[in-house]
Structure 1
Amino acid sequence: MPRAPPGRGGARGRRRVRRFQPASDRGKFLDMQAGQHEEPVMGSNGSLLAELLAETGVASTSGAYHDVKRGVEAVVGKVAGRPEAGAALDSALIDLWIAEIDQRLSRQIDEILHHPVFQRLEAAWRGLKFAIDHIDFRENIRVEILNCSKDDLLADFEDSSEVVRSGLYKIVYSSEFGNFGGKPFGAVISNYEFGPVPQDIALLQKCAAVATMAHAPFLAVAGPQFFGLKDYRKVPHLGDIKALFEGPQYVKYTAFRESEDARYVGLLLPRFLLRLPYGASTSPIRAFSYEEDVVGNHAAYCWGAPTYAMATRLAESFARHRWCLHIIGPQSGGTVEGLTLHEYDALGAIQTKIPTEIMLTERREFELSEEGFIGLTFRKDTDNACFFSANSAQKPKYFGQSDEGRAAEVNYRLGTQLPYVFLVSRLAHYLKVMQREQIGTWKERGDLERELNSWLSQYVADMDVVSPAVRSRRPLRKGRTSVTEVEGSAGWYRVHLEVRPHLKYMGAYFTLSLMGKLDRE
Structure 2
Amino acid sequence: MVNVIKHARPPGGIVRTSSRMLADRLIAEIDAVLNRQVNAILHHPDFQAMEARWLGLDLLVREAGRSAEVKIKLISASWKELARSMERATDFDQSHLFELVYNREFGMPGGEPFGLLVGDYDLSPATIDGSDTVSTLARLSTVAAAAFCPFIAGASPQAIGLETFRELNRVSDFSWLQQDKMRLRWNSLRGNDDTRFLGLVAPRVLMRPPHKPFWRKRNDGFPFREHLSESGETLLWGNSAFAFAAIILRTFIDSGWFADMRGVTQDEIDGGMLAPWQLPGLDIGVESEGLSAQPPVEVKLTRSQELQLSDLGIVPVATTYLSSSAIFNANQSLHAPGHYSSETARQNARLAAMLQYVLCASRFSHYLKVIMRDNIGQLSTANVIQRRLEDWLSGYTLGNDDADVSLRSRYPLRSAGIHVTEIPGKPGAFSCTVRLQPHFQLDDISTSFHLVAETSGAAAMGATAGQTEPKRIVA
The TM tier, using the shorter chain, reads 0.7 to 0.9
Post-superposition offset of 1:168:
1.1
Aligned counterpart in structure 1 of residue 364 of structure 2, from 398, 403, 427: 427
| Between 257-266 and 288-297, the greater mean CA deviation after superposition | 288-297
Residue type of the partner of 1:417? Answer: M
Residue type of the partner of 2:26? Answer: W
Q: Deviations over 1:402-445 (max 9, x none)?
A: xxxx5543432221111111111011000100111001111111
Aligned counterpart in structure 2 of residue 394 of structure 1, from 335, 344, 347: 335
Give the Cα–Cα distance (whole angstroms) in 1 for the partners of residues 239 and 172 of structure 2: 25
Tell me the equivalent position of 2:184: 251
Closer/same/farther in 2, CA of residues 279 and 320 from structure 1, 3 Å limit: closer
Give the Cα–Cα distance (whole angstroms) in 2 for the partners of residues 160 and 177 of structure 1: 20
**CA contact 1:373–1:393 (8 Å) conserved in 2:** yes
Aligned counterpart in structure 2 of residue 361 of structure 1, from 302, 316, 322: 302
Give the Cα–Cα distance (whole angstroms) in 1 for the partners of residues 307 and 384 of structure 2: 46
Post-superposition offset of 1:188:
0.5
Residue type of the partner of 2:165? Answer: Y
SS in 2 for 1:211: helix
Tell me the equivalent position of 1:330: 264
Residue type of the partner of 1:487? Answer: P
Closer/same/farther in 2, CA of residues 351 and 237 from structure 1, 3 Å limit: farther
Tell me the equivalent position of 1:174: 103
Give the Cα–Cα distance (whole angstroms) in 1 for the partners of residues 445 and 275 of structure 2: 33
**CA contact 1:500–1:511 (8 Å) conserved in 2:** yes
Post-superposition offset of 1:452:
0.4
Give the Cα–Cα distance (whole angstroms) in 1 for the partners of residues 325 and 126 of structure 2: 33
Post-superposition offset of 1:195:
1.0
Post-superposition offset of 1:474:
1.1
Give the Cα–Cα distance (whole angstroms) in 2 for the partners of residues 120 and 351 of structure 1: 27
Bigger relative CO (Cα 8 Å, ≥ 6 apart): 2
Tell me the equivalent position of 1:55: none
SS in 2 for 1:495: strand
Alignment of 1:110-509 (within 5 A): 110-197=39-126, 199-280=132-213, 286=220, 288-331=222-265, 333-338=271-276, 339-344=279-284, 354-401=295-342, 406-502=343-439, 507-509=444-446
**CA contact 2:205–2:298 (8 Å) conserved in 1:** yes
Root mean square deviation, CA, Å: 2.4
**CA contact 2:155–2:200 (8 Å) conserved in 1:** yes
SS in 2 for 1:334: coil
Identity of aligned residues (%): 29
Give the Cα–Cα distance (whole angstroms) in 2 for the partners of residues 115 and 140 of structure 1: 38
Q: Deviations over 1:259-286 (max 9, x none)?
A: 0111101111111111122343569573
Post-superposition offset of 1:175:
1.4
> How many equivalent pairs are there?
443
Give the Cα–Cα distance (whole angstroms) in 2 for the partners of residues 74 and 368 of structure 1: 53
Post-superposition offset of 1:513:
0.7
With normalisation by structure 2, the TM-score equals: 0.87
Give the Cα–Cα distance (whole angstroms) in 2 for the partners of residues 388 and 223 of structure 1: 20
Give the Cα–Cα distance (whole angstroms) in 1 for the partners of residues 309 and 209 of structure 2: 29
Closer/same/farther in 2, CA of residues 186 and 345 from structure 1, 3 Å limit: closer
SS in 2 for 1:233: helix
Alignment of 1:75-114 (within 5 A): 75=5, 77-78=6-7, 82-84=11-13, 87-114=16-43
Q: Which residues of structure 1 form unaligned runs of 5+?
A: 2-70
Closer/same/farther in 2, CA of residues 246 and 238 from structure 1, 3 Å limit: same
Residue type of the partner of 1:252? Answer: R
**CA contact 1:241–1:368 (8 Å) conserved in 2:** no
Give the Cα–Cα distance (whole angstroms) in 1 for the partners of residues 148 and 419 of structure 2: 20
**CA contact 2:294–2:323 (8 Å) conserved in 1:** no
| Between 211-220 and 189-198, the greater mean CA deviation after superposition | 189-198
Closer/same/farther in 2, CA of residues 95 and 314 from structure 1, 3 Å limit: same
Post-superposition offset of 1:252:
1.6
SS in 2 for 1:374: strand
Residue type of the partner of 1:390? Answer: N
Residue type of the partner of 1:327? Answer: M
Post-superposition offset of 1:368:
1.0
Closer/same/farther in 2, CA of residues 223 and 285 from structure 1, 3 Å limit: farther
**CA contact 2:293–2:324 (8 Å) conserved in 1:** no
Q: Deviations over 1:134-169 (max 9, x none)?
A: 334435111111111111111111222221121111
Post-superposition offset of 1:361:
0.7
Give the Cα–Cα distance (whole angstroms) in 2 for the partners of residues 320 and 272 of structure 1: 24
**CA contact 1:266–1:374 (8 Å) conserved in 2:** yes
Post-superposition offset of 1:508:
4.7
Post-superposition offset of 1:464:
3.7
Residue type of the partner of 2:62? Answer: D
**CA contact 1:187–1:218 (8 Å) conserved in 2:** yes
Give the Cα–Cα distance (whole angstroms) in 2 for the partners of residues 352 and 340 of structure 1: 9
Give the Cα–Cα distance (whole angstroms) in 2 for the partners of residues 178 and 378 of structure 1: 40
Tell me the equivalent position of 2:462: none
| Between 427-436 and 291-300, the greater mean CA deviation after superposition | 291-300
